Amino acid sequence: MRHLWIVITLMVFVIAAGTVAVSPSGQASTLSAKKKCHHVTKTVHGKSMRVKVCRSIKAETSTPTPTATPPPDIHKLFRLHSVAVDSYGNVYASALNPARIVKLGPDGAYVTSMGMDVLKENQSAGGISCGPTGIFAGRQDSIYVTDGCQHAIFAFSASGELLGRFPRDPQQSSVYGPNDLQYLAVDQGGNVFASAFSLGRVERFSADGTRRDTVYQPSEGDPLGIALDSQGNLLVGLAREGIVVKVSPSGQELARSSALEGDGPTVRGVAFDSHGDVFASVDGGGGLNPADQIAELSPELKHLRTIAGAGTGPGQVAIPQGLTLDSQDNLYVAESFNNRIEKFSPSGQLLATWTGD
């Protein structure tokens, strides 16, 4: 009899135990067990006895995680600020609505959007007051982008994984105002250089993001577009001056261009090709300005030619922003007014126009 009671007790325990279910997707979901019990009469060896029998009523308590639906125009290149190209020829652009990095293939086809869970933008009555601006393809195709709302630079892998922040300590970002950090460049050691616009200087962050110093502060004009040449010299475009300067690693000014055409023109982007020639994107003074242009300068910063003039047609530019060159010296220009990227050959021929459509 004692053995029979043990068997019955174990049966009741097993029946009443809670379980874990597996969803069709293969993920385990936690279930809570409620017991419903009743008594039955059992006859064992001619004797009647009352036995309590329980069964579990399972109810799923897990809540499915909602999947965010990307905006329908996520692929479109709206309010561009800068452009970068990795070693495989993939093209990256910093864009707004929403704040993100748009990745295109070498043929300009939309691949994905990255950084939407990290980058921020701030919309005001007059439009977007801050958001991602400069972008740079660094070592091992890591992608760096400045965030004017968070006063920081973020590094991502080519697949969109967050790798780091500059400065690492968010408290150090308090010295910057909205959109202070604009364009950027990264040297072979992983040190990050950024134009701090309203502070009127170029900042350098150590590769681990823990240290910051000032490497250049012009006597006039505010630094905007920046680049590092193969000798480690810093190229800086000055806002409202229409001037490009070349600065040595020690901070000594080596060369200075003459003022480019325009009513208070701003050099928003600078880059250099394999021969040392310098390319500058010039905003002639806001809006659709006839002085908008892409200029090519010699290594000594003498004007050589105009690659693209002002306008909205093919091969023209309107409020040109950041620019870059690939390993074949093809030039890529981001335009915020025309919402597109234009690609030019080394000879200046328009090769492609990409809008994300």
Q: How confident is the model at residue 32 (pLDDT cuts 50, 70, 90)?
A: very low
Say what the pLDDT of residue 268 is. 93
Say what the pLDDT of residue 6 is. 41
Number of domains in the chain: 2
CA 102 to each of CA 68, 88, 119: distance values in angstroms, whole numbers, following the listed order: 17, 16, 12
Say what the pLDDT of residue 241 is. 84
Residues 248 and 338 in one domain: yes
Of the two residues 175 and 342, the one the predictor is more confident about is 342
Say what the pLDDT of residue 296 is. 97
Residues 96 and 187 in one domain: yes
Residues 237 and 345 in one domain: yes
Share of the chain above pLDDT 90, in %: 61
Summary mean pLDDT of the chain: 83
Side-chain-facing half-sphere of 24: CA atoms under 13 Å: 0
Domain with residue 110: its CATH number is: 2.120.10.30
pTM above 0.85, yes or no: no
List the domain range (segments joined by +) for residue 26.
Answer: 2-60
Query: For 120-138, what is the mean pLDDT?
Result: 81
pLDDT for 3 beyond 70? no
Residues 181 and 252 in one domain: yes
Domain assignment present for residue 302? The answer is yes
Say what the pLDDT of residue 163 is. 96
Domain assignment present for residue 68? The answer is no
Domain assignment present for residue 72? The answer is no
Domain assignment present for residue 230? The answer is yes
Domain assignment present for residue 331? The answer is yes
Domain assignment present for residue 74? The answer is no
Residues 290 and 141 in one domain: yes
Q: How confident is the model at residue 62 (pLDDT cuts 50, 70, 90)?
A: very low
Query: For 3-22, what is the mean pLDDT?
Result: 39
Domain assignment present for residue 202? The answer is yes
Residues 169 and 37 in one domain: no
Residues 55 and 99 in one domain: no
Of the two residues 277 and 21, the one the predictor is more confident about is 277
Query: For 115-119, what is the mean pLDDT?
Result: 94
Residues 47 and 93 in one domain: no
Q: Tokens representing 15? A: 């029946």
Lowest mean pLDDT among 6-20, 92-106, 193-207, 267-281: 6-20
199-251 tens-digit pLDDT: 999 999 999 999 999 999 998 889 999 999 989 999 999 988 889 999 999 88
Cβ atoms of 189 and 232 within 8 Å: the answer is no
Residues 288 and 245 in one domain: yes
Residues 178 and 215 in one domain: yes
Instruction: Identify residue 176 by its one-letter amino acid code.
Output: Y
Residues 23 and 123 in one domain: no
Residues 186 and 275 in one domain: yes
